[in-house]
Amino acid sequence: MITIIYGRLLNLKRNWLPYAFMVVLPLMLTFVMGAVMGDAESGIALPISDLDGSVHSAALVEELKSLGTYNIKLTDETGLRQTVMENGADAGLIIPRGFGKGIMQGETPQFSLFITRETQVGYSLHGVLTAAVQRLAYSAAIADGTVEALERLANPGSGENARLRERVHSLVAEEWRERLPVRVAGSTIKSGGGGFSFDMYTQTSIGFTIAFSMFTIIFAVGEILEEKRTGVWGRINISPVSRFRVLTGGLVCAFAMGMVSMLIMVFVGDLVLGVNWLGHIGGALVILSAFCFCMTSFGLLLSFGIKTSQQLQVTAPVVLVSSAMLGGCYWPLEIVSSKAMLIASKVVPAGWAMDALKGMIVYNRGLEAVYLPAAVLLLMGIVFLGTAVQLGERA
Per-residue 3-state assignment (H helix, E strand, C coil) for the chain: CHHHHHHHHHHHHHCCHHHHHHHHHHHHHHHHHHHHHHCCCCCEEEEEEECCCCHHHHHHHHHHHHHCCEEEEECCHHHHHHHHHCCCCCEEEEECCCHHHHHHCCCCCCCEEEECCCCHHHHHHHHHHHHHHHHHHHHHHHHHHHHHHHHHHHCCCHHHHHHHHHHHHHHHHHHHCCCCCCCCCCCCCCCCCCCCCCCHHHHHHHHHHHHHHHHHHHHHHCHHHHHHHHCHHHHHHCCCCCHHHHHHHHHHHHHHHHHHHHHHHHHHHHHCCCCCCHHHHHHHHHHHHHHHHHHHHHHHHHHHHCCCHHHHHHHHHHHHHHHHHHCCCCCCHHHCCCHHHHHHCCCCHHHHHHHHHHHHHCCCCCHHHCHHHHHHHHHHHHHHHHHHHHHHHHC
In this prediction, residues 28-40 reach a mean pLDDT of 63
Q: How confident is the model at residue 101 (pLDDT cuts 50, 70, 90)?
A: confident
Is the model's pLDDT at 291 over the cut of 50? yes
Does the pLDDT of residue 270 top 80, yes or no?
yes
Q: What is the pLDDT of residue 159?
A: 54
Is 50 exceeded by the pLDDT of residue 185? no
Domains and CATH numbers, the chain: 2-37+194-394 (no CATH), 44-176 (3.40.190)
- The pLDDT assigned to 254 comes to 85
Question: For 366-383, how does the pLDDT look when each residue is reduced to its tens digit (9 = 90+)?
Answer: 888 899 999 999 999 999
- Residue 193 — pLDDT band, cuts 50, 70, 90? very low
Per the model's pLDDT, the better-predicted residue between 126 and 314 turns out to be 314
Categorize the per-residue pLDDT at 46 as very low, low, confident or very high, splitting at 50, 70 and 90: confident
**More confidently predicted of 76 and 163:** 76
pLDDT at 247 over 90: no
Question: What is the separation, in whole angstroms, between the first and last Cα of the chain?
Answer: 21
Mean pLDDT value across residues 32-61: 72
pLDDT exceeds 50 at position 182: no
Q: What is the pLDDT of residue 349?
A: 93
pTM of the model: 0.60
- Please give the mean pLDDT across all residues of the chain: 76
* Tens of pLDDT, residues 300-344: 888 888 877 788 888 888 999 999 999 988 888 877 778 888 898
At residue 348, the pLDDT reads 92
**Tell me, what amino acid is at 31?**
F
Q: What is the mean pLDDT of residues 141-145?
A: 63
**Can you give the pLDDT at residue 189?**
39
- Highest mean pLDDT: which of 41-45, 105-109, 144-148, 149-153? 105-109
232 versus 73: the higher-pLDDT residue is: 73
Does the CA dihedral 224-226-228-233 come out positive or negative? negative
| pLDDT of res. 284 | 92
Give bridge partners of residue 112 from the DSSP assignment.
94
In the chain, the percentage of residues whose pLDDT exceeds 70 is: 69
Compare 257 and 8 and report the one with higher pLDDT. 257
Residue-level pLDDT at 197? 46
Q: Are 332 and 196 in contact (CB under 8 A)?
A: no
Stretch 269-297: mean pLDDT, rounded? 90
Query: Where does the pLDDT of residue 285 fall: very low under 50, low under 70, confident under 90, or very high at 90 and above?
Result: very high
Report pLDDT for 40. 45
Which range is most confident: 160-174, 175-189, 294-308? 294-308
